[in-house]
């Protein structure tokens, strides 16, 4: 019998830019049929070529087989286990076929103060358009942010008629303190963090390498989520409070619907690409595994180097550069362009199957 287990070489994979950006699945069963992922529920059966998906978001009520996960991993597809419509991020996995170019670029930027400050300024510039932040220090940026955010809270308080006494929450437990409006803000922000986390992991970046925030495992998640709070979570929380809605679930569901309407997933990907990509870089360059070299940067893998004389010249096809004694160096190449999670975002939602009537036997 022929071996049906197919594993793609990075050169054989479709460019991420050519892929369907994301497939969101709820109340369905995922299996594999040859080189396709098959999604089945009571209503429909959908077959999607595995190498044409950038990220699969597995929502509530989803069951997936070992074969489907192996196929997705070999195809360079990210898999994220998320809450309803992606509003929470529980776990994620990337297969060995996915390149690390975006991660290398992010690490290069975050470990160099000059470049890190430039990215932080760009983030503040995206949040507060019309302000010149090109020469601002981090201290000045934080001060401007505080002023703008307080003004934003006051404006929405006047717009909705909801009383505002200031942001109140308990560090480490955002829902433990504060009034109804503060709890709505905390719930909406937590949902936004989950969405940003799923996208960041799905395109191969690190959630922990932040530019403004630092020290936390989700520092970059907090950076990216802050880009959208003024547009999404803050007005949403005030609107809900004005309607008398005060449950955390109300905030999560309202944010879910707002994100679906505005196609925020695609915008997050494009914004991350804009922040991390080098100007004029070839964002469609292939990403392949190589071997690090302390003098040459990187050399091709899959080569027997025992009979080779290492040249002082950089081999053709090698990437990267060695920093100079001053700590500066050429950045790693910009990775393949992340998929546009906009028009190509697909949602496949159950109902799943009939619930078995018999009670399952205990495991022990």
CB burial of 1-35 (b: ≥16 within 10 Å; e: otherwise) equals: eeeeeeebeeeebbebeebbbbbbbbbbbbbbeee
Which uninterrupted H or E stretch holds 39?
strand 36-40
Tokens of 64: 């997936």
Residue 226 in marked binding region: yes
What is the rounded CA–CA span in Å between residue 162 and residue 297?
A: 58
* HEC-encoded secondary structure of 65-116: CHHHHHHHHHCCCEEEEECHHHCCEEEEECCCCCCCHHHHHHHHHHCCHHHH
Residue 213 in marked binding region: yes
- Residue 340, CB half-sphere, CA atoms under 13 Å: how many? 5
Asked if the bond preceding 329 is cis, omega within 30° of 0, the reply is: no
Judging by DSSP bridges, how do beta strands 29-33 and 78-82 pair with one another?
unpaired
**Please, which residues bridge with residue 92 across strands?**
80
What is the rounded CA–CA span in Å between residue 191 and residue 206?
A: 19
What is the rounded CA–CA span in Å between residue 107 and residue 128?
A: 25
Residue-by-residue DSSP string for 142-199: HHHHHHHHHHHHHHHHHHHT--------BTTBTTSSS-HHHHHHHHHHHHHHHHHHHH
Tokens of 6: 């197919």
Largest CA distance in the chain: 77
Residue 145 in marked binding region: yes
The alpha carbon dihedral of 274, 11, 97, 263 has a sign of: positive
Judging by DSSP bridges, how do beta strands 20-26 and 53-58 pair with one another?
parallel
What is the rounded CA–CA span in Å between residue 56 and residue 71?
A: 12
Which residues line the annotated binding site?
145, 213, 226
Which residues line the annotated binding site for Mn(2+)?
145, 213, 226
């Amino acid at each position: 019998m022929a071996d049906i287990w197919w594993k793609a070489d990075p050169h054989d994979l479709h460019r991420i830019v050519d892929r369907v950006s994301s497939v969101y699945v709820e109340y369905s069963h995922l299996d594999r049929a040859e080189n396709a992922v098959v999604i089945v529920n009571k209503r429909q059966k959908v077959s999607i070529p595995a190498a044409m998906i950038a990220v699969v978001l597995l929502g509530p009520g989803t069951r997936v087989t070992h074969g489907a996960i192996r196929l997705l991993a070999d195809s360079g597809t990210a898999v994220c286990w998320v809450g309803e419509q992606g509003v929470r991020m529980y776990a994620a996995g990337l297969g060995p076929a996915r390149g690390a170019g975006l991660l290398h670029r992010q690490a290069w930027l975050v470990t160099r103060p000059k470049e890190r400050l430039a990215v932080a300024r760009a983030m503040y510039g995206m949040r507060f358009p019309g302000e010149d932040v090109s020469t601002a220090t981090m201290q000045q940026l934080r001060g401007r942010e505080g002023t703008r955010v307080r003004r934003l809270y006051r404006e929405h308080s006047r717009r909705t008629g909801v009383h505002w006494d200031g942001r109140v929450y308990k560090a480490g437990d955002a829902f433990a303190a504060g009034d109804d409006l503060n709890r709505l803000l905390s719930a909406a922000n937590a949902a936004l963090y989950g969405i940003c986390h799923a996208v960041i992991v799905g395109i191969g970046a690190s959630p922990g390498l932040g530019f403004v925030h630092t020290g936390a495992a989700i520092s970059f998640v907090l950076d990216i989520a802050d880009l959208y709070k003024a547009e999404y979570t803050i007005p949403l929380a005030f609107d809900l409070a004005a309607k008398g809605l005060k449950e955390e679930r109300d905030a999560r569901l309202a944010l879910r619907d707002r994100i679906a309407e505005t196609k925020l997933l695609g915008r997050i990907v494009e914004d991350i690409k804009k922040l991390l990509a080098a100007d004029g870089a070839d964002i469609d360059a292939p990403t392949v595994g190589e071997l690090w070299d302390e003098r040459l940067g990187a050399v091709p893998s899959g080569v027997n180097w025992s009979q080779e004389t290492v040249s002082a010249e950089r081999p053709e096809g090698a990437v990267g550069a060695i920093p100079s004694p001053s700590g500066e160096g050429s950045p790693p190449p910009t990775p393949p362009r992340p998929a546009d999670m906009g028009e190509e975002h697909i949602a496949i939602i159950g109902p799943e199957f009939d619930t078995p009537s018999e009670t399952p036997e205990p495991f022990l």
